[in-house]
Structure 1
Amino acid sequence: MDYIRHAQSRGRANFGWLDSRHSFSFGQYYDPAHMGLSALRVINDDRVRGGAGFDTHGHRDMEIISYVLEGALEHKDSTGNEFIIPAGDVQLMSAGSGIMHSEYNASRTDPVHFLQIWIQPNVRGVKPGYQQATIEQTGSLTELVTPDGRNGTLSIRQDAVLSRLALVPGEEIRLEVGSRNGYLHLLSGKIQVADQTFEGGDGIGLTRAEGLELTAIEAVQALWFDLPGQGA
């Protein structure tokens, strides 16, 4: 483990309507020790109260992934897309040459809980794009986002793969990185790695080839990022 980010040490922004935890530096939260890993730049753990959301704002040259954990998110953008993203769905907006969008809680009463993830693209100034899918879990590790959109996954403009990890108590898995980088973000449950335990909101980064051997203490849901190596 080359990098550890515990949930309780993340940055926080609480505006009443939004309670957000930042795994990496974002907005008014800045920590030079936590600037992202490889092309992974942002993981914001956002909870938005009913009827509230992010007003129309712009992005460019960023791959922005939303993964909804509870509730539903309403998306509108300047290219005419209007969609509801329910819990379990994954959405990818490629900002490209520039796009305006808004994100609101689809409910007037119930909160929505989702992750906002930013990955830097390997091409700039291209046409914006929008993708969304429901991807069922098949085995312990299921791909959600890939460079080529294989097997019904969403296609990202970067040499990166985002997978969902699901383990039952007692299950073991080894995650390999080789010459690349890896980042594991736990959504729920508890795992053991060597003599340490990690739970929901915690993150583990790898920048060397030894891999990561983990055992589920409780039922686990997590996101695993396979990212370009240094100099890629």
Structure 2
Amino acid sequence: MSATPTPRVDVRRADGRYRTDIAWLDSKHSFSFGSHWSPDNTHHGLLLVNNDDVVRAGTGFETHPHRDMEIVTWVLAGSLVHQDSTGHSGVIYPGLAQRMSAGTGILHSEKNDSWRLGGERHTEPVHFVQMWVVPDEPGVTPGYEQLEIDDELLAGGLVPVASGMDRHADAAAIRIRNRYAALYAARLQPGQSVQLPEAPYLHLFVPRGAVTLEGSGALGTADAVRFTATGGQRVTATEPAEILVWEMHATVAG
């Protein structure tokens, strides 16, 4: 674990993100990614990637490798088909938590295969947020886990989506291999609010809707906030909204 840093609340607006816009993909990157590189924007805490992706029907990411990364995918609309070299496959849809541990190495594909559960054809894009955090240790056995938590989200509070923290051993939907990190989600109706945890590092992302953040004002769709050595603020919806919150008690070395 690293020493507690200087308190800071850093609001990052949606239009300040890097963008990859090609025929089949519209991807917005909160941190340096691919050809978009800045040495001053490589991570926050343990979070290296927060990609906001829209993939056209019938297209997607062909088989490609990953190594030593905990990858959490959160679908907002549509459905995403996952297949990997360990034999796991599944359809990820809104309300389903999914984690892939790349470990010693894994190949996988992610596609909008133009079908819904039940086989109904469709042509809608799939919209999802993909987040990467570093694992505690390199070289673990690759793995995959998914679990539906839609019912828990209906309660309106912060719901643990993925965690490696001991205190979430019985609560988190899926486990990640970092004992200093946890991801929460909340679906909020206007007037509903949640209180953020306190931690050396927090990352708040508003994938859709609008909220107000205590002490910082209004946040719109795709705005983000990086908290350092602070927390406990309230987030209140001003229109139907969804938020994703990373709580992190360590940071990437260097």
TM-score of the superposed pair, with normalisation by structure 2: 0.85
Aligned amino acid, residue 210 of structure 2: K
1:16-55 equivalences under 5 Å are 16-55=23-62
1:169-197 per-position Cα deviation (integer Å, ceiling 9, x unaligned): 1233331324x211110022211223521
Find the aligned partners of 1:119 and 1:35 in 2 and give their Cα distance.
12
Which moves more between the two structures, 54-63 or 222-231? 222-231
In the other structure, the counterpart of 1:173 is: 194
In the other structure, the counterpart of 1:115 is: 129
1:147-179 per-position Cα deviation (integer Å, ceiling 9, x unaligned): 15523610000121111122221233331324x
In the other structure, the counterpart of 1:211 is: 232
1:7-44 per-position Cα deviation (integer Å, ceiling 9, x unaligned): 11100001111110001110011123322211100011
Which moves more between the two structures, 214-223 or 64-73? 214-223
In the other structure, the counterpart of 2:139 is: 125
In the other structure, the counterpart of 1:103 is: 110
Find the aligned partners of 1:48 and 1:225 in 2 and give their Cα distance.
24
Q: 1:58 and 1:166, CA in 2 relative to 1: closer, same or farther beyond 3 A?
A: same
1:1-232 equivalences under 5 Å are 2-107=9-114, 109-135=123-149, 136=151, 137=153, 138-147=155-164, 149-151=169-171, 153-158=173-178, 159-178=180-199, 180-193=200-213, 194=215, 196-230=217-251
Aligned amino acid, residue 67 of structure 2: R
CA RMSD after TM alignment = 1.8
**Structure 1: runs of 5+ lacking an equivalent:** none
Find the aligned partners of 1:15 and 1:230 in 2 and give their Cα distance.
32
TM-score of the superposed pair, with normalisation by structure 1: 0.92
The answer on whether the counterparts of 1:63 and 1:95 sit within 8 Å (CA) in structure 2 is yes
Q: How many residues align?
A: 231
SS at 2:171 equivalent: helix
1:79-112 per-position Cα deviation (integer Å, ceiling 9, x unaligned): 1112111222121000001101111113163211
Q: 1:52 and 1:230, CA in 2 relative to 1: closer, same or farther beyond 3 A?
A: closer
Aligned amino acid, residue 155 of structure 1: R
The answer on whether the counterparts of 1:84 and 1:106 sit within 8 Å (CA) in structure 2 is no
Q: 1:90 and 1:210, CA in 2 relative to 1: closer, same or farther beyond 3 A?
A: closer
Structure 1 runs of 4+ aligned residues shifted over 3 Å read 229-232
Find the aligned partners of 2:235 and 2:109 in 1 and give their Cα distance.
38
- How much does 1:128 deviate? 0.3
**Structure 2: runs of 5+ lacking an equivalent:** 1-7, 116-122
The answer on whether the counterparts of 2:163 and 2:172 sit within 8 Å (CA) in structure 1 is no
Identity %: 40
